[in-house]
Amino acid sequence: MIDNLIEQSIETEEQNNKSSADLRIRKTQHSALSRKFVEVMTEYNRTQTDYRERCLARIKRQLEITGRTTTNEELEEMLEQGNPAVFTQGIIMETQQARQTLADIEARHADIIKLENSIRELHDMFMDMAMLVENQVIYCL
What pLDDT digit, counting tens, does each position of 83-138 carry? Answer: 666 666 666 777 888 889 999 999 999 999 999 999 999 999 999 998 988 888 78
**What is the reported pLDDT for 104?**
93
Sign of CA dihedral 60, 61, 66, 67: positive
* ∠ Cα 51 54 58 (to 5°): 140
Q: Which long-range contacts (CB under 8 A, 24 or more apart) does 64-68 make?
A: 66/90, 66/91, 66/94, 67/94
Q: Could you give the CA distance from residue 13 to residue 124 in angstroms, rounded to a whole number?
A: 115
What pTM does this model have? 0.46
Tell me 19's DSSP state: T
What pLDDT digit, counting tens, does each position of 2-33 carry? Answer: 677 777 776 776 666 656 777 788 888 988 99
